[in-house]
Amino acid sequence: MQASDEDLLVGALALAYKFADLAALRRAYAQAEAGDGDPAGVLAALERERVLSPARTARLRRAAAVAARLRDDAVYGMIALRNRLLGAQVLNACMDEARREGHARALAQILRERGVLGEAQDEAIAGRAAGVLDDVRQKERALQGTIDLARDPPEQAELKLAMLLGEVAGKLSFLQRADLDAAVAAAERRERGLPAEAPAAPPPPPQQADIPIPVAAPAAPGQAPEAADPIKGYELLLKLGQGAMGAVLKARKRDSGEVVALKLLKPELATDREYVERFLREAKAVARLSHPNIIRAVQAGRSGDYYFFAMEFVEGQTASELIKAKGKLPERFGVMVTRCVASALAHAWEHEIIHRDIKPDNVMITKDGGVKLTDLGLARTAKQESTLTMTGVVMGSPAYISPEQGTGEKNLDTRSDIYSLGATLFHMLTGKVPYEGETPLQVMLRHMQDPVPDVKAHAPQVSEATRQLIMTMMAKRPEQRFQSAKHVEQAARAIEDALARGEAPPIIWKRVVRQAPGQPAPGQPAGAQPAQATDAALSASRRAPAAAGKPAAPAAAPAAKAKPVASGRLATSQSGDRKLGQSMSGEKAKEVGERLRRMAQKKKGR
C-alpha cells in the first residue's frame, strides 16, 4: 500500500470523527491506489461511494490540512525551543496568534515576520524539522509496506490498516479534539472571507461556580462537630473567591482558633501531577519565608479529595483593585508599596526564591495600610529547572514580564522580579501598563525592544527621582538594573522619606547599576561580594551630597569590563537596546544555525 501523507491524515481523522469505518476506508484506499485517473485520492473515493457527503468531504479536507500544519508547527517550534533560539512565552504567544487568525500562516512565517528568527536560523530549523518529520514517517512507511490491499483478506487488511492509522493519529496526540475543531472552524470562516474568530458573545450573567466546595456533614450522635469537617481541623466559614485551579475559603483553625485563608485545589485536578506540584510549590515556597510583607504560611496537606493550603487571612484590597477604583495612585503611596515588595523580594532571594509573577494583582494592601506579597504559585528556586511545554501556561504576566523571562531564560534571578516590580510601579502611578498591544506576543516583544516609557508622560507630577527609579528597575539588560532588591528598597525609602518631608527626593543610586567585578552569575544569590561595592556606593551617596539631590561621586571603574550575564542573551546594539528577533548573541545564533544545518545535511546524506 502506498498512500500520501494527506490521505493518511484523512483516514485517521475519518475514524476519529466516525465518518467512516475500516471497511469503507480499505475500499477507498484500494481505489486511490488503483488510480482511476483521479488525483483527489481517498476523499474522492469516499465521496463516490457515498460514505461522505460533500459537506463532510470538505470538512475532512480542511481538518487534514489544519492537522498537518499544526503538526509541522509543533516540530518546528520544539526544535527552535530546544536550541534556545526563542523562549516558551514567545513561542506560545506566536502559536496563539496563528490560532486566532485561523492558521493562515505557518508558525515559521510568523516568527520571521515578527523578527523573532532570522533567515539563516529559519533555514536551519526547517532543514532539521524535515529530517525529524521524515523519521516520524518511517514507521508509517514500514506499516504501509505490510499491507497489500489487492491480495490480503479484508479482515487482515483492515487490522493492518487500523494499526497504520493508529500510528498516524498518535503523532497528533498533542492536539486536543476541541482545539482541532476550533482550528478547522476558524479555517472555514477564513475561507468564507470572515474573521477567523467569531465575534465574542456577551458575557453570561454571573452564576454560582461549579467548583465543588466541601460541605460538612451532620455529626453523628455523640460525635464531636469537628469530626465531620471536610478539611480536617478547619471550620469552613465563607467562600472568598475562585480561580481556574480551585477556590479560596475563609476558615477557622480548630486547635488555635486562628482565622485563615484556605486555598483548595479542584478535586478533578488532584490526579494531575503538574497542577498538584504547582499548588504545593506555593505552599513550600511560602513556608520557607518569614517576612512581614509576605503572606504567612500556616499549613498544607491533603484531606480526602482536597489538597489544601492554609495561610494567614488578610483583609484589604489588591493594588490592582485600587488602580481600577482610583486610576492613578499617589506617588508616595506607590513608592511605599514598591519599598515593601522590594523588602519581601530581598528576603525571598536570601532563600534563592524568585517570585516570577510580580504584578498589582499579587500585591495586597491591608486595612491597616500594610503591604503583603501573595501568590507564589510560579515561584522557583534559582537552581530549579523550569518545566515549560508547548501548550504550557505562560509563566508570568505579559504586561509585567521581564525581557529575559519572555525569552525563556532558565537562569533567572532577582533582577527579573525587580523589572516586574518597576512595571508594577509604573502602572500604579499612571493607571496604565507600560506597554500595550493587541496580543500577548506584541506586548512581550515591546518589553524586549521598546525604550522604557517615561512615567512623566502620563503623570507629570511624579518626581525625577521616581522617574529614574522606574527607568533603572526596567532597564532592558539585567546588569543595568539594580543588582539586588535591597538596593531598590533603600532607594525607595529615600524617596518616600523626602516626599514625607515635602522635599525633592534625591537620586542616590547612580552607580548601583554598574556591574562590579565578581558580579554573581544568574542562578546565584546576589547578596555576596558584588553587593559590597554597590552597598558602599549607595551608603556614600546617602551621606553628604545626596541630601541636596546631587549624585554621589562616581565609584572607581572596574578593572575590566564585566562579562555579560546569561540572562542578557538578546543581541544588543551600540546603544544597548535589544534588537528585536535575536534570542542570543549573533555569534551564538550563527553557531547554532550552522550546527542545525550540518545535522540536516548529514540526515539527507543518509
Closest alpha carbon to 552 in 544, 560, 563: 544
The whole-number pLDDT of residue 178 equals: 75
DSSP for 267-297, please give it: GGGTT-HHHHHHHHHHHHHHHT---TTBPPE
CA distances from 329 to 279, 358, 361 (A): 32, 18, 15
Model confidence band, residue 67 (pLDDT cutoffs 50, 70, 90): confident
Taking residue 553's Cβ as centre, other Cβ atoms within 10 Å add up to 13
| Residue 589 pLDDT > 70 | no
User: What does pLDDT average to over the chain?
Assistant: 76
- The predicted model gives 99-106 an average pLDDT of 81
Closest alpha carbon to 387 in 270, 271, 246, 278: 278
> Who contacts 40 (Cβ-Cβ below 8 Å, separation ≥6)?
none
Alpha-carbon dihedral angle through residues 389, 393, 394, 396, given to the nearest 10 degrees: -120
The whole-number pLDDT of residue 435 equals: 93
Choice between 281 and 130, residue whose per-residue pLDDT is larger: 130
The whole-number pLDDT of residue 505 equals: 93
Question: Which of 251-260, 348-357, 433-442, 533-542 shows the lowest mean pLDDT across its residues?
Answer: 533-542
DSSP for 188-226, please give it: HHHHTTS-SSPPPPPPPPP----SPPP-PPPPPTT--GG
Our measurement of the distance from residue 474's CA atom to the centroid of its chain's CA atoms, rounded to an integer in Å, reads: 19
User: Are 216 and 223 in contact, with CB atoms under 8 Å apart?
Assistant: no
Single-letter code of the amino acid located at 351? H
Choice between 237 and 407, residue whose per-residue pLDDT is larger: 237
What are the pLDDT digits (tens) for 460-470?
A: 999 999 999 99
The whole-number pLDDT of residue 497 equals: 96
The whole-number pLDDT of residue 343 equals: 96
Select the highest-mean-pLDDT range: 57-66, 89-98, 244-253, 574-583: 57-66
| Residue 583 pLDDT > 50 | no
Select the highest-mean-pLDDT range: 108-122, 205-219, 366-380, 509-523: 108-122
Taking residue 262's Cβ as centre, other Cβ atoms within 10 Å add up to 26
Closest alpha carbon to 2 in 142, 123, 196: 142
The whole-number pLDDT of residue 36 equals: 54
User: Are 289 and 353 in contact, with CB atoms under 8 Å apart?
Assistant: yes
**CATH numbers and ranges of domains, the chain:** 5-191 (no CATH), 226-312 (3.30.200.20), 316-548 (1.10.510.10)
Share of the chain above pLDDT 70, in %: 73
Q: Is 565 helix (H, G, I), strand (E, B) or coil?
A: coil
Model confidence band, residue 569 (pLDDT cutoffs 50, 70, 90): very low
* Set of cell numbers at residue 185: 472552524
| Helix H or strand E segment including 347 | helix 331-350
Owner of C-alpha cell 524568585: 354
What are the pLDDT digits (tens) for 407-421?
A: 777 788 999 999 999
CA distances from 153 to 23, 157, 159, 163, 166 (A): 12, 6, 10, 16, 20
The whole-number pLDDT of residue 604 equals: 56
- The predicted model gives 4-29 an average pLDDT of 88
Our measurement of the distance from residue 365's CA atom to the centroid of its chain's CA atoms, rounded to an integer in Å, reads: 26
Choice between 390 and 589, residue whose per-residue pLDDT is larger: 589
Half-sphere exposure of 417 (CA within 13 A, CB side): 35
Share of the chain above pLDDT 90, in %: 22
| Residue 552 pLDDT > 90 | no
- The predicted model gives 288-304 an average pLDDT of 87
3-class secondary structure for 365-414?
Answer: EECCCCEEECCCCCCEECCCCCCCCCCCCCCCCCCCCCHHHHCCCCCCCH
The whole-number pLDDT of residue 598 equals: 65
Separation of alpha carbons 153 and 207, rounded Å:
58
* Set of cell numbers at residue 111: 516568527
Sign of the torsion angle spanned by Cα atoms 388, 282, 381, 357:
positive
